[in-house]
Amino acid sequence: VFDVSKPWLNRVIERRSKAFLTAVSEVDFDVEPRSTYALVGESGSGKSTIGKMLVGLLKPTSGVVEIEGIDLASETDAAKIDAIRSDIQMIFQDPYASLNPRWRVKDIIVEPVASRGGNTEGLSERLLEQVGLSVQDAGKFPHEFSGGQRQRICIARALASEPNLIVCDEPTSALDVSVQAQVLNLMSDLKDDFGLTYVLISHDLTVVRHMADKIGVLYLGRLVEEAAPEDLFETPKHPYTQMLLEAAPQMDGFGREVLPPEGEIPDPITPPSGCAFHPRCPIAQDVCKRDRPAMRQINGIRVACHLAE
Ligand code: SF4
Ligand code: MG
């Protein structure tokens, strides 16, 4: 959750921006209202960069980020940008890093509303119950909660300003496996209750499988395939999607992504020629090294691969 008026939060965001600096190019997708669009890719695929552009934390050097008819990338009217921003919230991977440790939970939760001078009467209590915490938790501090509970606090804060769109960047990757499903289920229920739209960012296709209405697979800053989950899991068209499905990357003990065995991700600063996936692709041909594959439609699936049928 981002607020330009909070310097401590900006420092968190700045740190994250430096750690995940990635180029994104020619990525183009639409998110239907009240749907969940999942962006999946390994570290360095550009998924967090896209998430930050959606909430206005980063500006693209070209292109359009249109939310409810307003282009966040080019809009200069501060009032319009502010209105859109309160309509979009973000949930991060590490719930602890995005909670101010010196604030009580009730103040954390209502902050997005309080900072805009809105009515916060009874708000934190209501939201705590909605995310499965108790009213008695309102006076506690973030360190008194487990990881899963902290993510619930972040979700409550994201809901406070009644957003339409929530960008969730690896919302469960820092959590124990047993807790992940609970948080995903909660997100799913809240989506129905509040008519929310999610952009769900994940390195793990299996996490998004039951949440997403559509999945976009990213590789080195480009969209390589986009399909409904049933199509993507049953008939993945892009060799990279097939690789992801065969060897879903895991998190190590420090919450970092462990690469699948089939080769390293190339440096995004100097991507391979032609299809950027060709050094890892088991079926690459000469044309793949030479020409970048354009995005094509095959039976309702969008795929960028010379050889996909
Ligand atoms: Fe593999 Fe070629 Fe398709 Fe790229 S374009 S994914 S290298 S077959
Ligand atoms: Mg990331």
166-221 confidence digits (pLDDT tens): 999 999 988 988 899 999 999 999 999 999 999 999 988 888 998 999 999 999 99
Cβ of residue 239 lying under 6 Å from some atom of ligand 1: yes
Domains in the chain, ordered, with CATH? 7-216 (3.40.50.300), 235-303 (no CATH)
Cβ of residue 278 lying under 6 Å from some atom of ligand 1: yes
What does the pLDDT read at residue 12?
58
What does the pLDDT read at residue 3?
41
Strand locations in the chain (E): 36-40, 66-67, 70-71, 88-91, 165-169, 197-202, 214-219, 222-227, 250-251, 257-258, 296-298, 301-303
> Is the CB of residue 50 less than 8 Å from the CB of residue 200?
no
pLDDT tens profile 103-148? 999 999 999 999 989 999 999 999 999 999 999 999 999 999 999 9
Cβ of residue 163 lying under 6 Å from some atom of ligand 1: no
Residues shown for the chain: 309
> Is the CB of residue 3 less than 8 Å from the CB of residue 166?
no
The preferred substitution site among 217, 241, 278, 289 for testing ligand 1, maximizing ligand atoms within 8 Å of CB, is 278
Share of the chain above pLDDT 90, in %: 61
User: Burial of 107 by CB count in 10 Å (0-12 exposed, 13-18 middle, 19+ buried)?
Assistant: middle
